[in-house]
Chains A and B, each alone.
Chain A
């Protein structure tokens, strides 16, 4: 079973800074099957990135995804106040159907 490990657990940055979040898989996965979600307190997750690098509908271009094999990255180029949230990576595809990382909390410094 694929295990996704996200780092860091918590990232403290200021608005305007660049954020780099990591997701590492326990075995190589197809980049076609890697997604990122944003979740704010009291809300459901929101899809940001799918296929490792494709932005979902309505997602600003300051969000970008990259990576392949076992190492994937979510980058937020210039943090806006509304970007402070928890970010989770996800593997999807066949068996098991879905796996999530444990999440990275992006907090205001």
Chain B
């Protein structure tokens, strides 16, 4: 059973960047599809992007293209999400989650395990 542990809460100024980490244990990190999902206060879940470490390249939701960078370090089984040019609307809880990857049709699968969430507050 894979467990995901995220870094702690952050308070950032508008225009700055934040980098959140997600360390996995108990599974084969490289072959999972790792996603970052955020949830603004009182709002629904929003997929930001993801990475499959064995491939190394990330893909992003169009809304966040150019502002988010997702990376993975296989040596430490840790994924990272960096969001730049922060604004107040980016105040949210950021989750990492893992799911399977279907090698037969190159599709991602459901998100089976989630981190505990990291609150990022953007305020001047």
Contacts and interface: CB of A to CB of B under 8 A. Distances in A.
Interface in A74-109: 88, 90, 92-94, 96-103
B45 A93 contact: no
Nearest to B4: A44
Given A56-B112, A92-B109, A97 B45 contact: no
B33 to A, nearest CB: 7
A44 B99 contact: no
Contacts of A44: 95, 97, 114-117
Given A44-B116, A97-B33, A102 B44 contact: yes
B28 to A, nearest CB: 18
Interface size class of A (residues with CB under 8 A): 20 to 34
Contacts of A19: none
A72 interface: no
B111 A97 contact: no
Interface residues of B, number: 26
A92 B44 contact: no
A99 B47 contact: yes
A45 interface: yes
B66 to A, nearest CB: 16
B111 A103 contact: no
Contact of A92 (B61, B95, B110, B117): B110
A106 to B, nearest CB: 14
Interface of A: 1, 33, 35, 37, 39, 44-47, 50-51, 56, 88, 90, 92-94, 96-103
